[in-house]
Structure 1
Amino acid sequence: MVKSGVPTLLCTPLALHGAAIADLAAGHSLVAALRGAGIERLFIADWRSASADMRFLGIDEYLADLNVLVDCVGGLVDLIGLCQGGWLSLVYAGRFPAKVRKLVMAGAPVDIAARQSRLSAIAEATPLIMFQSLVNLGDGRVIGRNIAPFWGNDTDASDIRESLQLLEPIGSPEFTRLEAIFKSWSSWTIDVPGTYYLEVIEKLYKRNELAGGSFVALGQKIDLSRLRLPMYLLAGSADEVVAPEQLLAVERLVGTQPEYLRHEVAPCNHLGLFMGRRTLEQYWPRIVRWMKEVD
Structure 2
Amino acid sequence: MVEKTGKQPRGPGHAPDDPLLWPFTAARLAMDACFWWLERGAVEQGESSLPWTTPSTVALELATMRLRDFTQTRSGQPALVCAPYALHRALIADFAPGHSVVQSLQNGGIGRVYLTDWRSATPEMRYLSIDSYLTDLNVAIDEIGAPVDLVGLCQGGWLSLLYAARFPAKVRRLVLVGAPVDLSIDSALSRLARNAPELVYDQLVARGGGNVSGEEMLRFWSKSPDSDGIEVALQRGLSDEEGAGLLARFDRWNTETLDLPGTYYLQIVNWIFRENRIAGGQFVALGRPVDLKDVKAPVFLLSGLDDDVVPAVQALATAGLVGTPPAFIAAASEPSNHLGLFMGARTHVHAWPRIAEWLRNDLSGVLARSA
Do the two structures share a fold, i.e. TM-score over 0.5?
yes
Preserved CA contact (<8 Å) 2:81 2:116: yes
More divergent stretch after superposition (3-12 vs 197-206): 3-12
Report the Cα distance in structure 2 between the residues aligned to 1:114 and 1:105, rounded to whole angstroms: 17
Specify which of 134, 137, 158 is matched with residue 63 of structure 1.
134
Shift of 1:121: 2.3
Q: Relative to structure 1, is the Cα distance of residues 43 and 143 closer, same or farther in structure 2, using a 3 angstrom cutoff? A: same
Quick one: which amino acid aligns to residue 284 of structure 1? W
Specify which of 21, 26, 40 is matched with residue 111 of structure 2.
40
Aligned position for 1:97: 168
Shift of 1:56: 0.0
Preserved CA contact (<8 Å) 1:2 1:39: no
Q: Relative to structure 1, is the Cα distance of residues 69 and 24 closer, same or farther in structure 2, using a 3 angstrom cutoff? A: same
Which structure has the highest helix share of the two? 1
Shift of 1:201: 0.4
Aligned position for 1:190: 258
Task: Structure 2: state its 5+ residue gaps.
Answer: 1-71, 364-371
Shift of 1:126: 1.0
Report the Cα distance in structure 2 between the residues aligned to 1:95 and 1:188, rounded to whole angstroms: 32
In the alignment, structure 1 residue 146 sits paired with structure 2 residue 221: no
Aligned position for 2:271: 203
Shift of 1:66: 0.1
In the alignment, structure 1 residue 242 sits paired with structure 2 residue 310: yes
Shift of 1:209: 0.6
Report the Cα distance in structure 2 between the residues aligned to 1:177 and 1:11, rounded to whole angstroms: 26
Report the Cα distance in structure 2 between the residues aligned to 1:247 and 1:209, rounded to whole angstroms: 16
Quick one: which amino acid aligns to residue 86 of structure 1? G
Quick one: which amino acid aligns to residue 292 of structure 2? L
For residue 229 of structure 2, give the secondary structure of its aligned residue in structure 1.
helix
Task: Structure 1: state its 5+ residue gaps.
Answer: none
For residue 184 of structure 2, give the secondary structure of its aligned residue in structure 1.
helix
For residue 135 of structure 1, give the secondary structure of its aligned residue in structure 2.
helix
Preserved CA contact (<8 Å) 1:215 1:222: yes
Report the Cα distance in structure 1 between the residues aligned to 2:330 and 2:219, rounded to whole angstroms: 34
Matches within 5 A, 1:169-184: 170-184=238-252
Aligned position for 2:201: 131
Report the Cα distance in structure 1 between the residues aligned to 2:142 and 2:162, rounded to whole angstroms: 17
Q: Relative to structure 1, is the Cα distance of residues 153 and 233 closer, same or farther in structure 2, using a 3 angstrom cutoff? A: farther
Aligned position for 1:288: 356
Q: Relative to structure 1, is the Cα distance of residues 130 and 27 closer, same or farther in structure 2, using a 3 angstrom cutoff? A: same
Q: Give the number of aligned pairs.
A: 292
More divergent stretch after superposition (121-130 vs 148-157): 148-157
Normalising by structure 1, what TM-score?
0.95
Report the Cα distance in structure 2 between the residues aligned to 1:148 and 1:264, rounded to whole angstroms: 32
More divergent stretch after superposition (124-133 vs 11-20): 124-133
Report the Cα distance in structure 2 between the residues aligned to 1:61 and 1:129, rounded to whole angstroms: 24
C-alpha RMSD of the superposition: 1.6
Report the Cα distance in structure 2 between the residues aligned to 1:226 and 1:84, rounded to whole angstroms: 20
Q: Relative to structure 1, is the Cα distance of residues 152 and 207 closer, same or farther in structure 2, using a 3 angstrom cutoff? A: farther
Instruction: Kindly name which structure, 1 or 2, has the bigger radius of gyration based on alpha carbons.
Output: 2
Quick one: which amino acid aligns to residue 316 of structure 2? L
Preserved CA contact (<8 Å) 1:4 1:41: yes
Shift of 1:151: 7.2
Q: Relative to structure 1, is the Cα distance of residues 153 and 287 closer, same or farther in structure 2, using a 3 angstrom cutoff? A: farther
Normalising by structure 2, what TM-score?
0.76
Give % identity.
48
Shift of 1:75: 2.4
